[in-house]
Structure 1
Amino acid sequence: MARRKTATKGDIREQAILNTARELLGSVPVGQITIDMLAAGAGISRSGFYFYFDSKTAVLEALLDDVAEEMGAAARRWLDGSGDDPDALREALAVSARLWREHGPLLRQALLAEDPEFAEFREHVVRGYLNQVAARIARDRSEGDALPGPAPERLAQALVRMKFAVFAADPSDEAVDTLCAVVRRSLYG
């Protein structure tokens, strides 16, 4: 007979640390969050914390990796496509907006505050995303689907930074529609 997989005590404690971090990020700047705060919020000792994570940065990276993975999966259809595809673009932007609503404090600090705690995340994840957007722009231009303009890397950087700034301030459906229109007009006229 197959046994049901249930969360272990360790899984529950690890999740409690992550949940505490999410909660704290809503009201405490990342630089002021301590391991003691994370451990206390999870109901474990400071030494117990180190059984699950080796640093505060590791906790923050775990949170960001989950968000980045979901954003990347949602954007895949648009990034891998070609030509003007408003449905794929809107779908990707809508997921990003939802994630900004759910994880805004974390994303603001990781992507906009230039906090050194997130330097590696920004370099790895954001750089990878920028490269994918630039490749999409270059591909559409080479196929004659997109307008000529600034270098794909520069345009990708402007569009992605704009997306971060807009969603940091207003991750609404109206913002999704606005960004969709701006991206489409920038690329396809």
Structure 2
Amino acid sequence: MTAEQEAAEAPRRRGDKQRHAIVQAVRELLEEKPFAELSVSTISDRAGVARSGFYFYFDSKYAVLAHILGEVTHELEDLTHDFAPRGDDETPAQFAKRMVGSAAAVYAHNDPLMRACNAARSSDAEIRDIFDGYNDLIIDQIVPIVEAEIAKGTADPITTDVRRLVRTLAATTAFTLSGESAFVGPDRDIDAAVRVLEKLWLRALWGGQVGT
């Protein structure tokens, strides 16, 4: 790389570092307080950037959250191999384990972010809209997989309303992996909850009769 190219790249690298610092600041702050208590000033101070610097990259703290959820989506895509359909050498049980296990890994890696956002859904409309959009992306990936298997006669879901079924399964998975007490119980045994989720997906979509 020439000196001129190095000089041209320097501002972009600085910008990448500042954007990363802002994102990391939000992640760190969510370990300390609810999202509702975060302000642009607090985020900027933690990131070591000016408020004007924050607004150069993000319109609001919600834009940072949307950016982070985009990263989470990419992480889930990587772990699920871009939501690859079930192959001939993968049983329905293995497919359910791949999908639920990947989601569990992503939630664990991004906790407490995911936990905090799920907790704030009921009281913050913007977070709810962002998270609903994130969930819709996941649902849009899974529904065609199920519909293709139905067409081949290799899946037998408990209802013909596949999209609503997948939405219900996805929501149950999200709240369970977020550690909601109503879903995991007082012992908060996430590993046991994941095993139940795997069986739930399997039986809801395949009746639990194939590949168990």
TM-score higher than 0.5: yes
Matched residue, 1:69: 74
Determine the C-alpha separation between the residues in 1 that align with 2:64 and 2:23: 7
For the 8 Å contact 2:77–2:83, the answer to whether it is kept is no
Please give the per-residue CA displacement for 1:58-104, whole angstroms capped at 9, x wherever unaligned. 21111111001211333356552368433343233222212211222
Matched residue, 1:152: 162
Please give the per-residue CA displacement for 1:98-149, whole angstroms capped at 9, x wherever unaligned. 2211222322343453232224423432123223333333322222222242
Matched residue, 1:27: 32
The runs of 5 or more residues in structure 1 that have no matched partner are: none
Secondary structure of 1:8's match? helix
Residue identity in the other structure for 2:76: M
Residue identity in the other structure for 1:141: I
Residues 124 and 9 (structure 1), Cα distance of their counterparts in 2 relative to 1, 3 Å cut: same
Q: TM-score if structure 1 supplies the norm length?
A: 0.82
CA offset at residue 172 of structure 1? 4.2
What count of residue pairs does the alignment treat as equivalent?
189
Determine the C-alpha separation between the residues in 2 that align with 1:171 and 1:8: 42
Residue identity in the other structure for 1:49: F
Matched residue, 1:162: 172
Query: Do residues 97 (structure 1) and 104 (structure 2) align?
Result: yes
Question: Which is richer in helix?
Answer: 1
Q: Trace 1:108-147 onto structure 2 (pairs within 5 A).
A: 108-111=115-118, 113-114=120-121, 115-147=124-156
Query: Do residues 48 (structure 1) and 57 (structure 2) align?
Result: no
Determine the C-alpha separation between the residues in 1 that align with 2:149 and 2:26: 41
Q: TM-score if structure 2 supplies the norm length?
A: 0.74
> For the pair shown, which has the larger CA radius of gyration, 1 or 2?
2
The runs of 5 or more residues in structure 2 that have no matched partner are: 180-187, 208-212
Residue identity in the other structure for 2:148: R
What's the % identity of the aligned pairs? 26
Secondary structure of 1:129's match? helix
Please give the per-residue CA displacement for 1:127-176, whole angstroms capped at 9, x wherever unaligned. 23223333333322222222242211221122111111221116844433
